[in-house]
Amino acid sequence: MGQPATTHPGVSYVMPVYNEAAYIDDAIESVLAQQYAGERELVVVLGPSTDGTTERVHARAAEDARIRIVENPQLSIPLGLNLGIRAAAHDVIVRVDAHTELPADYTALGVATLQRTGAASLGGLMVATGRGRLQSAVARAYNSRFGLGGGAYHGGASQGPAESAYLGIMRRGPLERVGLYDEGLKRGEDWELNLRLREAGHLVWFDPALRVAYWPRDTWGKLARQFTATGIWRGELVRRLGGRNSLRYFAPPALVLASALSAVLLVLELTGVVSGLAAWLLSLVYLGPLLYLVLLALLLVSRSSGATVADRATFVGVIVVMHFAWGAGFVRGLLVGARDAVDRSRIES
């Protein structure tokens, strides 16, 4: 896959970890199995896990000197990433996640692309995968243009300059010059960091040849909490940065608001409070939710949504939870700010 790097700089993988007992061994193994000629280390930034993750990571570190552990007592991914980067020994930083698995040539290809393009940050495709009906449906939603709404790393865009980079293979120097990750954020930290890199004149690059397997949330509650928190922090980013956010981020909150207004209008019409010309004009608010219902009906009959009727129904349910949780979170974040909102999907089942 791709051409080898002309040189092989040392690479530090930085992996924030919290309550990932079901995935941590595979994630670590995929890093240690990288086919790359340069020096490598894995910096595991370990949160106060309660599911056995801590013990498993320490056992792996005792077996392999390439694994280093940095303690992170706070449930903050940006803080954990910064702790890991500051502790890292090498100039190429590869962000990895405990829910991901890297193909064996990921590092070699990424470093070669970093050298070829001169980018400060680059990323590739998130390829979601799942076990069982629900997680598989969530994975299909992640990989679908109807699920997460058009980010290059969820689809098949061609390589080139990008808005952001999934996970990120990054040069340490530019990261440090822009101040690393914003520790005041709890979600959206990758996008915000890459925005600052671009505004500082650095290149952010997308290469679809870089593919990372990702295991999404596997219960309805975890999915809703994850997307609510993500929406809240996107609303916060809009408060901070305004028009520098892509228009695609406004579609879910627009759907939530149109649905809420439609419900209110329907009650007013049924009770006779609103009627006549006013009701006819206001009924335009129904258009968005009706079109959305048509989309859901099409997804329900499409074989791409799942092999069986139950699979397709689960997929449609996942899409609805993603959109409405994210959109409701966005509205909250935009109106009152994120405050101390955190993603509790790894804390509660």
pLDDT value, residue 196: 96
Residue 245 clears pLDDT 80, i.e. is over it: no
pLDDT of residue 303: 85
DSSP 51-103: SSHHHHHHHHHHH-TTEEEEE--SS-HHHHHHHHHHH--SSEEEE--TTEE--
Can you give the pLDDT at residue 124? 94
User: What pLDDT sits at residue 186?
Assistant: 85
Question: Which two three-digit tokens encode residue 66?
Answer: 């390439």
| Predicted model pTM | 0.84
| Total residues found in the chain within this entry | 349
CATH architecture of the domain with range 11-216: Alpha-Beta Complex (3.90)
Q: What is the enclosing helix (H) or strand (E) of 192?
A: helix 189-199
Task: Quote the percentage of the chain above a pLDDT of 90.
Answer: 75
Q: If 0-12 CB within 10 Å is exposed, 13-18 middle and 19+ buried, where does residue 21 land? A: middle
pLDDT confidence of residue 279:
83
pLDDT digits 0-9 by tens, 332-342 = 999 999 987 87
Confidence category of residue 80, pLDDT binned at 50, 70, 90: very high
Contact 27, 15 (CB under 8 A): yes
Give the pLDDT confidence score for residue 342 in this predicted structure: 79
172-185 mean pLDDT: 95
Q: What is the pLDDT of residue 130?
A: 92
pLDDT digits (tens, 9 = 90+) for 283-300: 899 999 999 999 999 999
Distance of alpha carbon 203 from the chain centroid: 21
| Long-range CB contacts for residues 36-40, cutoff 8 Å, separation at least 24 | 36/8, 36/11, 36/107, 36/108, 36/111, 37/8, 37/108, 38/5, 38/8, 38/9, 38/10, 38/11, 38/111, 39/10, 39/11, 39/89, 39/90, 40/10, 40/11, 40/12, 40/13, 40/66, 40/90, 40/107
- Phi-psi bin for 22: left (phi > 0), alpha (psi -120 to 50), beta? alpha
Tens-digit pLDDT profile for residues 302-322: 988 888 999 999 999 999 999
Question: What is the per-residue burial (b if ≥16 Cβ within 10 Å, else e) of 295-315?
Answer: ebeebeeeeebbeeeebbbbb
pLDDT band for position 42 (50/70/90)? very high
Q: Does residue 344 carry a pLDDT above 80?
A: no
- Residue 152: is its pLDDT beyond 80? no
Closest of 204, 197, 215 to residue 166, by C-alpha: 204
Task: Name the residue ranges covered by the structural domains of the chain.
Answer: 11-216, 238-336
Work out the mean pLDDT of the chain and round it to a whole number.
Answer: 91
Q: Give percent above pLDDT 70 in the chain.
A: 95
Instruction: Select from 90, 91, 19 the least CA-distant residue to 53.
Output: 19
pLDDT of residue 221: 95
Residue with tokens 């954020």, as numbered in its chain: 185
Mean pLDDT, residues 165-181: 95
Q: Check pLDDT > 70 for residue 347.
A: no
Question: Quick one: how far is CA 98 from the chain centroid?
Answer: 13
> What pLDDT is attached to residue 155?
54
| Dihedrals phi, psi of 133, to nearest 5 degrees | -65, -45
pLDDT recorded at residue 5: 46
Q: What is the structure's pLDDT at 151?
A: 53
Least confident range of 113-127, 153-167, 262-276: 153-167
Q: What is the pLDDT of residues 185-199, one digit of tens each?
A: 888 899 999 999 999
pLDDT band per the 50, 70, 90 thresholds, residue 134? very high
309 closest CA partner among 301, 298, 318: 301
d(CA 240, CA 155): 28
